[in-house]
Amino acid sequence: MSRVHNFSAGPAALPEAVLRQAQAELLEWNDQGASVMELSHRGQAFIDMAAEAERDLRELMAIPTEYAVAFLQGGATLIQALLPLNFAASGQAVDYVLTGHWGEKAIDQARPCADVSIAASAEGNGYTKIPARALWRLRDDAAYLHITSNETIHGVEFADTPEASRAPLIADMSSSILSRSLDVSRYGMIYAGAQKNIGPSGIAVAIIHPELLARAGQLRAPILSIGNHLKHDSMLNTPPTFAWYLAGLVFKHLKQLGGVAAIEAINRRKAQRLYAVIDGSNGFYRNRVDPACRSRMNVPFFLANDVLEADFLKHATANGLIGLKGHRVVGGIRASIYNAVTEASVEALAQFMIDFAQRKA
């Protein structure tokens, strides 16, 4: 068996140790005589596992005790739709800072149920720079302020938590959660689909301050009420049990590596390595993002001679480097280097890029 170097944007690489453990436990999990997939979510074994996954996530992110943690289905996109329904009155003001494709999508999901205002937009600069905080136009009556912490497609990331407004800050961290240390107490809510930095697709995580949960929100079905999910320990209906279990294994794995601070140091080195290759290529490779807001998780770049792009991807695949094709909305190449992508994989890509440039320049 040979596993490739996987730079897929999502679903993305998982830690090999986690996959091996899941393989070893696939037929019989936890002395239950059955796979975790075959057991009731109402059984004690699953309930205990789910509670432990939550405890581990709380420990990894140092989540203050008053915050609620939910494990939800429907991905980050459903959560984007739930935000106005749960936290804003019908037609109430909500502010969004737009720094890339996923910010656009968050706005699309909120528009039917709230008065969306774009407090600041990077669209004019092609999503290459986060608008300065001093220029954000925030409304006093906004129910919340939404940002996308890391724009997975455009490769633009907030280096720090922005200064909050009067309204709670809600952050889509789908592609950056658990990749760097942060102060959860600065946020009203953090949410993330799992398939980039947590586990397989099918589950999403939400971390929510009680002030938001106390809001009446809008008329909605019980399944669309985040508070209702929390009241039922995220088991209002059948949860994606296998995805939850795998997320729990990833949390344990991260703890073994030394937690978020340890993985952050590795992530910083990985990103520096690739940007150094790009910046040192005499223009053969180009990344257009302002260095102050370059993503550590997704490194998009272009070849100065775009005719070579297909050749680059073909040879990369032949060399065991996969998932490098840029998203269709921007084109080019993108290396996603989430927590589970090792420094060895990044080094293999860096060497390939250097060799390719030498051969073709």
Ligand X SMILES: *Cc1c(COP(=O)(O)O)cnc(C)c1O
List of residues contacting ligand X (CB under 6 A):
10, 75-77, 102, 148, 152, 172, 174-175, 193, 196
Complex with ligand X: residue 303 or 341, whichever CB lies closer: 341
Active site residue 172: yes
Write down the catalytic residue from 196, 244, 270, 325. Answer: 196
User: Shortest gap between Cβ of 219 and ligand X (angstroms)?
Assistant: 24
Closer residue to ligand X, CB minimum distance, 193 or 248: 193
The phi and psi torsions of 145 (rounded to 5 degrees) equal -120, 125
How far apart are the C-alpha atoms of 118 and 344, rounded to whole Å? 41
Q: 233 Cβ partners below 8 Å, 6+ apart?
A: 47, 50
Provide, rounded to whole angstroms, the least separation between the CB of residue 21 and ligand X: 24
Q: What is the DSSP string of 152-197?
A: TTTTEE-SSPPPP-SSPEEEE-TTTTTSS---GGG-SEEEEETTTT
Catalytic residue among 56, 95, 102, 270: 102
How many Å apart are CA 251 and CA 61, to the nearest integer? 10
User: Cβ of residue 176: shortest distance to ligand X, in angstroms?
Assistant: 8
Tell me which residue has its CB nearest to ligand X. Answer: 75
Which one is catalytic: 95, 172, 244, 270?
172
Tell the smallest beta-carbon distance from residue 263 to ligand X (Å).
18
136 carries an active-site annotation: no
Closest approach, Cβ 310 to ligand X, in A, equals 25
Q: 88 vs 243, which CB is nearer to ligand X?
A: 243
Q: Which is nearer to ligand X, 6 or 175 (CB)?
A: 175
Which of these, 180, 186, 176, 179, lies nearest to 99 by C-alpha position?
Answer: 176
In this structure, the number of other CB atoms found within 10 A of the CB of residue 40 comes to 11
Distance (Å, whole) CA 151 – CA 102: 6
Cβ proximity to ligand X: between 76 and 107 the closer is 76
Query: In 332-348, which positions are buried (b, 16+ CB within 10 angstroms) versus exposed (e)?
Result: bbbbbbbbbbbeebbeb
196 is catalytic: yes
Residues acting as catalytic residues: 102, 172, 196
